[in-house]
Structure 1
Amino acid sequence: MPRQARSAVRPDGDSAARPNRLVRTWSYAGLPLLAYLLGHLLHGAAAYWFGFDWLSADSRIRWDGGIYLGIAENGYQAGLCAQIYPNGPNPDGLCGNAGWFPLLPFLVLALTKIGLGSAAAGVLIAEACALGMLIALCRLLASARTAVKAACLAVAALLPSGVYFHATFPMSLVMLLALAMFLLLVRGRWVLAGLTGMVAATAYPLAVLLAPAAVVFLLIPPGRWAWRRLATAAYVGGLTGLGVLAVFGVMQLTTGRWDAYLAIQSSNYGHGVHNPFATFRTLIEWQPTTVSAELVFSTGLVLLAVAALAVAAVRRQATVLDWTLGAVYGPLLLITPLVVGASQAQFRSHTLLLPIVLLLRHLRWPVAAGLAALASPLTFLMTGLFLTRALV
Structure 2
Amino acid sequence: MSDSALAELAEPTRPARRDWRCGLLPPVAAWVVTNLITWMVAKAANVAYWSTDGRHRWDSGHYLSIAKTGYEMYWCRERHPDFRDVMCGNVAWFPGYPMSVRAVSATGLSYEISAVVVTEVSLFGMFAVLWWLLGARLGWATGLTLAIGTVFPGGIYLHAMFPIATGTLALLVCIAGVKRGSWLLAAAGGFVATACHPVGAVAVGMLLLSAFFAWQRDTWPVRFVKAGSSAALAGCGVFWAKWLMWQATGRWDAYEIIQESSYQQGDLRQPFDEMRKAYEFPFSDWYRPEGHLPWLVDHALAAHRTQLWLNIAFLLLVLATAAVLLIRNHRLAVEEWAALILTVAIFSLPFFAGAEMSWYRNHAQMFVALILVRHMHRWIQVTLLGFCSIQYALLGAMFFAGVLV
TM-score of the two chains, using structure 2 as the length reference: 0.89
In the alignment, which residue of structure 1 is the partner of 2:244? 250
SS at match of 1:79: strand
Q: How far apart, in 2, do the equivalents of 1:150 and 1:242 lie?
A: 36
After superposition, give the CA deviation of every residue in 1:253-298 in whole Å (9 maximum; x if it has no partner). Answer: 0111111112112221222311111111222233553111111111
Question: For residue 278 of structure 2, what is the amino acid of its counterpart?
Answer: L
User: Does the C-alpha gap of structure 1 residues 296 and 374 become closer, same or farther in structure 2, counting only changes over 3 Å?
Assistant: same
Is there any run of 5+ residues in structure 2 with no aligned partner, and where?
283-300
Conservation of the 8 A alpha-carbon contact between 2:154 and 2:363: yes
In the alignment, which residue of structure 2 is the partner of 1:138? 131
User: Does the C-alpha gap of structure 1 residues 25 and 218 become closer, same or farther in structure 2, counting only changes over 3 Å?
Assistant: farther
In the alignment, which residue of structure 2 is the partner of 1:323? 337
Q: Are 1:167 and 2:160 matched, yes or no? A: yes
Conservation of the 8 A alpha-carbon contact between 1:43 and 1:163: yes
Q: How far apart, in 1, do the equivalents of 2:351 and 2:47 lie?
A: 32
Q: Are 1:105 and 2:98 matched, yes or no? A: yes
Tell me how far 1:214 sits from its aligned partner.
1.3
Conservation of the 8 A alpha-carbon contact between 2:156 and 2:396: yes
Conservation of the 8 A alpha-carbon contact between 2:278 and 2:357: no
SS at match of 1:362: coil
The sequence identity of aligned pairs, in percent, is: 28
Tell me how far 1:4 sits from its aligned partner.
6.8
SS at match of 2:74: strand
Tell me how far 1:311 sits from its aligned partner.
1.4
Conservation of the 8 A alpha-carbon contact between 1:174 and 1:203: yes
User: Does the C-alpha gap of structure 1 residues 250 and 4 become closer, same or farther in structure 2, counting only changes over 3 Å?
Assistant: closer
In the alignment, which residue of structure 1 is the partner of 2:401? 388
Conservation of the 8 A alpha-carbon contact between 2:195 and 2:238: yes
Question: For residue 385 of structure 2, what is the amino acid of its counterpart?
Answer: A
Q: How far apart, in 2, do the equivalents of 1:168 and 1:342 lie?
A: 19
Q: Are 1:276 and 2:290 matched, yes or no? A: no
Q: Are 1:124 and 2:117 matched, yes or no? A: yes
Q: Give the root-mean-square deviation of aligned CA atoms.
A: 2.1
In the alignment, which residue of structure 2 is the partner of 1:52? 47
Tell me how far 1:19 sits from its aligned partner.
4.0
After superposition, give the CA deviation of every residue in 1:141-200 in whole Å (9 maximum; x if it has no partner). Answer: 007652211111111221131111111111111111111111111111112321331122
Q: Are 1:66 and 2:61 matched, yes or no? A: yes
| 1:299-314 matched pairs, under 5 angstroms | 299-314=312-327
User: Does the C-alpha gap of structure 1 residues 44 and 234 become closer, same or farther in structure 2, counting only changes over 3 Å?
Assistant: same
Match of 2:220 among 226, 241, 264: 226
Q: How far apart, in 2, do the equivalents of 1:224 and 1:71 lie?
A: 42
| 1:1-392 matched pairs, under 5 angstroms | 3=2, 6=5, 13-14=11-12, 17-27=13-23, 29-89=24-84, 91=85, 93-142=86-135, 146-220=139-213, 226-271=220-265, 272-287=267-282, 289-316=302-329, 318-326=332-340, 328-392=341-405
Is there any run of 5+ residues in structure 1 with no aligned partner, and where?
none
SS at match of 1:136: helix
After superposition, give the CA deviation of every residue in 1:285-338 in whole Å (9 maximum; x if it has no partner). Answer: 335531111111112111111111111112215212222322x21111111101
Q: Which moved more, 1:240-249 or 1:227-236?
A: 227-236
Q: How far apart, in 1, do the equivalents of 2:180 and 2:161 lie?
A: 31
**What count of residue pairs does the alignment treat as equivalent?**
384
SS at match of 2:88: strand
Q: How far apart, in 1, do the equivalents of 2:151 and 2:309 lie?
A: 16
Question: For residue 51 of structure 1, what is the amino acid of its counterpart?
Answer: N
TM-score of the two chains, using structure 1 as the length reference: 0.92
User: Does the C-alpha gap of structure 1 residues 83 and 147 become closer, same or farther in structure 2, counting only changes over 3 Å?
Assistant: same
User: Does the C-alpha gap of structure 1 residues 196 and 8 become closer, same or farther in structure 2, counting only changes over 3 Å?
Assistant: closer
SS at match of 2:374: helix
Conservation of the 8 A alpha-carbon contact between 2:281 and 2:357: no
Q: How far apart, in 2, do the equivalents of 1:70 and 1:340 lie?
A: 25
Q: How far apart, in 2, do the equivalents of 1:226 and 1:108 lie?
A: 41
Question: For residue 64 of structure 1, what is the amino acid of its counterpart?
Answer: D
Conservation of the 8 A alpha-carbon contact between 1:198 and 1:239: yes
Q: How far apart, in 2, do the equivalents of 1:9 and 1:234 lie?
A: 49
SS at match of 1:95: strand
